[in-house]
A and B are shown apart, each in its own frame.
Chain A
Amino acid sequence: MKLYWEYMIRQFNSGLTYKFNYVCNLVSKILFVFSQYFIWKALMEKQTVETASGSIQFREMITYMLVSTFISTIINSDVILELNDKIKSGQIALDIVKPIDYKKLLFVNTVSKNLYNVIYLLLPTMIISIAIFGINIPSLGNGFVFIISVILATLINYMMCFCLGILGFWFSQLWIMNRLVYDLLALFSGKVIPLWFFPVMLLKVADCLPFKMIYTVPIFIYLEKYNNQEIVLMLFVQLIWLVILFVVSRLLWGRGMKKIVVQGG
């Protein structure tokens, strides 16, 4: 455990090595939030919009956008590409024989990178945005459930990426898969456009995919769009997706490991 902790601190500190890079990333992030704000402002001229799932206030929409930015920073994971590089270069063999669980190391790696992003990128962006645009604050109970839901969402996203990453043992062009999932996630998770604006046809598609669990569910909890029963149900569904993905990742990892042995033999 101490080993992983040490590793995490090192990773965390390496992020600030390139200051210029950091400033650029921060500016990018702030610019992104601003462009989103102006687009929603132009779309919601009348301040309220009637949709199939009730009326939406402009301030609510901005809160949605900010919470979504928050989640996207927290869940962000490069594990697909990282695994892909290691598998392609063969370096994974060295990582596996180290006296440390490589799967856990990958996870710690992601966590430390995200911790860095949250503190140095998200915090300044959020402070500026909230000061300018304002944000709705949920009740204490919902806020607490929201945190649990975000943690589940983070794990779901990580497991999904991890499963795809392991597929690199069989396919060499994994970045294509990465792009495909990223594009589908951007649309059907409700990351940019809330599902309440979707036409029925697309909504049905979104309901079948796990992506919704990553953005829509936590944000709806934050905005108090679910009643208590729905909250419990949604957390349960999140948990089921997580368990499914976890089991799949174990199975794939086992198979992948065997595959390596064959290649080395």
Chain B
Amino acid sequence: MKLLIKYLSLIIKSRLEYRLNFFLEVIINIFSYVVTYISIWVLMNQFGGIGGWSYYEVMLLYNFNLFTYGVASQIFFMPMKTIDSLVKEGRFDSMLIRPVNPFINILMNHAYLGFLGHIILGFIVFVICFGKLEIEWTLLRVLAFVVLMIAGVLIQASILILSGALSFKFIQASAFADTLIYGIRNFINYPITIYSGWLQILLTCLVPYALVNFYPTGVILGKYNFNHSVAIVLVCSAVGMAVFALSYAIFNKLINKYQSAGG
């Protein structure tokens, strides 16, 4: 454990070596999403809302996704993306012969801090939205918010881990991951009630993206009654933990089957 902390601090120091680079990455990430928020504003300004949701409600909805994605990606995005090239070049083998869990090892080795921008912007937008929407912060609601946030991060992380795990099996797994992450994620930028029934079911059950932002935002905004809200919080946290455990299990299973390209 001590070793891990030492290791991590060294990695972070080495990343901060190129300070300008790091700041530029953070700033450009913030800029990208500010542009996205502006375009949502343009639409909401013209049409006055979508599917019964106002601008700040949609903004909150989008932000749930952005923030949980930022937190999950801060830890998992780069390491999982790098597996692809590590496997191709046969460099992954060195991870397996070290006396550390390869999963932890790869997370540490390829830690990347550029997603700080997502997190900072996400935090700011949360503050703005909560102020504008005048949400009443009872203890239960705070608790629900924290739990839903953790569940969201777990779901986002599972998808990233799964995409990394697939790299052991398929050479061109990155396209699949991109489809899963970006192609389908497009759908949760707006309330999923605007889609046809089968798409809503797909987003809730098959790829549980709707549990990341749609249902949680509804709970925080008080769109559901008390019993439903409790049920949603429970389901989200259960699904979050389940998919995380599942993706970790798949990761380990595929690592065991891994055959080096160099062998």
List residues of chain A with CB under 8 Å of any chain B CB.
18, 20-21, 24-25, 27-28, 31-32, 34-35, 38-39, 41-44, 49, 51, 173, 176, 179-180, 183-184, 186-187, 192-193, 197-199, 202
Contacts and interface: CB of A to CB of B under 8 A. Distances in A.
Interface string B75-118: 00000000000000000000000000000000000000000000
B249 interface: no
Given A20-B175, A186-B35, A173 B183 contact: no
B178 A24 contact: yes
A24 B176 contact: yes
Q: Interface on chain B toward A: helix, strand, loop, or mixed SS? A: helix
Given A183-B31, A193-B42, A42 B51 contact: yes
B186 A31 contact: yes
Nearest to A198: B42
A197 B43 contact: yes
B194 A38 contact: yes
Given A20-B175, A176-B28, A42 B39 contact: no
B37 to A, nearest CB: 11
5 contacts: A18-B175, A31-B186, A31-B187, A39-B194, A173-B21
A58 to B, nearest CB: 12
Given A20-B170, A39-B50, A197-B46, A28 B28 contact: no
B36 to A, nearest CB: 8
B175 A21 contact: yes
B186 A38 contact: no
B225 interface: no
A35 B200 CA distance: 12
Given A24-B176, A38-B195, A41-B194, A199 B43 contact: no
Contacts, number: 83
Contacts of B46: 49, 51, 197
Interface residues of B, number: 34
Contact of B182 (A28, A41, A44, A192): A28
In this complex, the member of A38, A186, A187 whose beta carbon has the largest number of chain B beta carbons within 10 angstroms is A38
Given A31-B179, A39-B50, 5 more contacts: A28-B179, A31-B187, A32-B186, A35-B189, A197-B43
B42 A176 contact: no
Given A20-B176, A31-B186, A187-B39, A180 B195 contact: no
Nearest to A184: B35
Nearest to A36: B186
Contact of B184 (A20, A31, A42, A193): A31
B42 A20 contact: no
Nearest to A20: B172
A197 B38 CA distance: 13
B24 A27 contact: no
B196 A38 contact: yes
B172 A42 contact: no
B42 A202 contact: yes
B186 A35 contact: yes
A44 B172 CA distance: 39
A179 B35 contact: no
A18 B170 CA distance: 11
B56 interface: no
In this complex, the member of B38, B170, B172 whose beta carbon has the largest number of chain A beta carbons within 10 angstroms is B172
B252 interface: no
B47 A27 contact: no
B190 interface: yes
Contacts of A183: 31-32, 35
B45 interface: yes
Contacts of B171: 18
In this complex, the member of B45, B189, B195 whose beta carbon has the largest number of chain A beta carbons within 10 angstroms is B195
Nearest to B180: A24
B190 A180 contact: no
A73 B25 CA distance: 27
A232 to B, nearest CB: 30
B232 to A, nearest CB: 22
Contacts of B170: 20
Contact of B47 (A21, A34, A43): A43
A197 B42 contact: yes
Contacts of B43: 43, 193, 197
Contacts of A49: 46-47
In this complex, the member of A43, A51, A192, A199 whose beta carbon has the largest number of chain B beta carbons within 10 angstroms is A43
Contact of B179 (A24, A35, A44): A24
Contacts of A39: 50, 189-190, 194
